């Protein structure tokens, strides 16, 4: 059975930077830079321009990961697209990214499978686990795993929505998972979920249990959407408590099952939801700052894109090199969580 390793990484962020002060001065949100930094560690985030969708944002990240893997897009056997902010309700972002990569065009078109993953902040690790299984079983040789998010299109830019709006930014990250006979790669993955907390962090706009799922405003087909359905809802204390507990458990389970000591891990890649959560997890597990990498201060929470952008940054800056042992962990809405151990 072949091993599955990450053969290429890539990332892309929009040019526009929105600082904490910008949220107050440009959008009129009653907040301060100090208030946001104290609670989240976030100083700024990036917003995509009008007209750019989630799949389009992912193209440069995907192209960079494919090139760094020494491949062409047509070499891919599968595209996995993790997002909570798809371009539209359906079809999914994976097929849109496939089209934008141009693999279906020309004299030698490729029609590899393309699948969306809707596990929010844990989406990338669910995608990495899926890609690893596909490669290890021999079904695929090269799988593109993408995390791409455009949150700025669906945030409440009023003081009413500041608790959520201050957290999120736009970005895309990607990796290619490839087969190898070398003794390296993804050593294991661990996924979990607790559906009892589905209402603690949600965005209810497409609630098909309602009839109709949007209140019709007129016979012309226009609909009226209540703020409770239109904007994200978060029970912050519940999310904070469960995130710490589940991230610690997932990391400990990973190390236990692979007979690995935390001290043996060279780099910890935590999902970037809140700097305070990550600091608490690191403190609980006695992980030194020198083994952590962060980008939440400059990018905010980019959900499915946080871990792949961190991996790309770490490779580009020399923080992550061949032979290092890497631990990844994430927690998100659902609640869902995941961890992975990789020998780079």
Q: In the chain, where are the structural domains located?
A: 3-183, 186-199+232-343
Q: Give, in order, the Cα–Cα distances in Å from 136 to each of 21, 80, 91, 97, 322.
A: 48, 16, 29, 24, 20
Same fold, 3-183 and 186-199+232-343: yes
271 counts as catalytic: yes
pLDDT band, residue 133 (cuts 50/70/90): very high
Q: Give, in order, the Cα–Cα distances in Å from 26 to each of 18, 44, 140, 156, 157.
A: 9, 14, 48, 14, 10
Sign of CA dihedral 142, 254, 319, 149: positive
Helices (H), 258-343: 275-284, 296-299, 306-317
pTM of the model: 0.95
As a whole number, the mean pLDDT across the chain is 94
Q: What is the pLDDT of residue 81?
A: 98
Decide if pLDDT at 230 tops 90.
no
Decide if pLDDT at 207 tops 90.
no
119, 121, 242, 255: which is the annotated catalytic residue? 121
Lowest-confidence segment of 78-92, 211-225, 326-340 by average pLDDT: 211-225
Decide if pLDDT at 170 tops 90.
yes
259 counts as catalytic: no
**Span 116-122, average pLDDT:** 95
- Which pLDDT tens digit goes with each residue over 255-291? 999 999 999 999 999 999 999 999 999 999 999 999 9
Q: What is the pLDDT of residue 251?
A: 95
pLDDT band, residue 224 (cuts 50/70/90): confident
Decide if pLDDT at 299 tops 90.
yes
Q: What is the pLDDT of residue 151?
A: 96
Decide if pLDDT at 218 tops 80.
no
248 counts as catalytic: no
Which residue has tokens 């609909």? 223
CATH of domain 186-199+232-343: 3.40.47.10
Structure tokens at 29: 């949100």
271, 274, 278, 294: which is the annotated catalytic residue? 271
| DSSP three-state, residue 342 | strand
- Which pLDDT tens digit goes with each residue over 10-69? 999 999 999 999 999 999 999 999 999 999 999 999 999 999 999 999 999 999 999 999
- Closest by CA to 174, choosing from 206, 138, 151, 142, is 142
Structure tokens at 304: 């499915």
| Domain 3-183 in this protein, CATH class | alpha beta
Structure tokens at 191: 């996924």
Contacts of 118 (CB under 8 A, 6+ apart): 82, 83, 84
Q: Give, in order, the Cα–Cα distances in Å from 284 to each of 38, 98, 121, 220, 266.
A: 20, 42, 21, 57, 18
pLDDT band, residue 336 (cuts 50/70/90): very high
């Amino acid at each position: 059975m072949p091993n599955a390793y990450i053969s290429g990484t890539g990332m892309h962020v929009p040019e526009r930077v929105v600082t904490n002060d910008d949220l107050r001065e440009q959008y009129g949100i009653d907040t301060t830079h100090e208030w946001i930094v104290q609670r989240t560690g976030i100083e700024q985030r990036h917003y995509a321009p009008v007209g750019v969708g989630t799949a389009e944002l992912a193209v440069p990240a995907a192209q960079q990961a494919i090139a760094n893997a020494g491949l062409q897009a047509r070499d891919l056997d599968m595209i996995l697209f993790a997002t909570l902010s798809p371009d539209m309700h359906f079809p999914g972002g994976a097929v849109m990214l496939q089209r934008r990569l141009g693999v279906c065009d020309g004299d030698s078109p490729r029609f590899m499978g393309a699948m969306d993953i809707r596990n929010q902040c844990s989406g990338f690790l669910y995608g990495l686990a899926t890609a690893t299984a596909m490669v290890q079983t021999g079904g695929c040789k090269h799988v593109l795993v993408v995390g791409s998010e455009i949150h700025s299109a669906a945030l409440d830019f009023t003081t009413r929505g500041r608790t959520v709006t201050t957290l999120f930014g736009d970005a895309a990250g990607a990796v290619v998972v490839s087969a190898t006979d070398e003794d390296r790669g993804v050593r294991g993955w661990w996924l979990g979920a607790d559906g009892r907390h589905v209402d603690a962090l949600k965005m209810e706009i497409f609630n098909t249990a309602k009839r109709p799922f949007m209140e019709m405003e007129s016979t012309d087909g226009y609909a009226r959407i209540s703020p409770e359905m239109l904007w994200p809802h978060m029970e912050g204390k519940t999310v904070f408590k469960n995130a710490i507990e589940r991230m610690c458990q997932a990391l400990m389970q990973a190390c236990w099952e692979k007979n690995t000591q935390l001290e043996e891990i060279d780099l910890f890649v935590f999902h970037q939801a809140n700097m305070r959560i990550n600091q608490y997890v690191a403190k609980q597990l006695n992980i030194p700052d020198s083994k952590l990498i962060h980008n939440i201060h400059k990018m905010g929470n980019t959900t499915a894109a946080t871990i792949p952008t961190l991996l790309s940054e770490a490779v580009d800056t020399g923080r992550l090199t061949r032979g290092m042992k890497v631990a990844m962990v994430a927690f998100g809405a659902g609640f869902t969580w995941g961890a992975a151990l990789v020998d780079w």
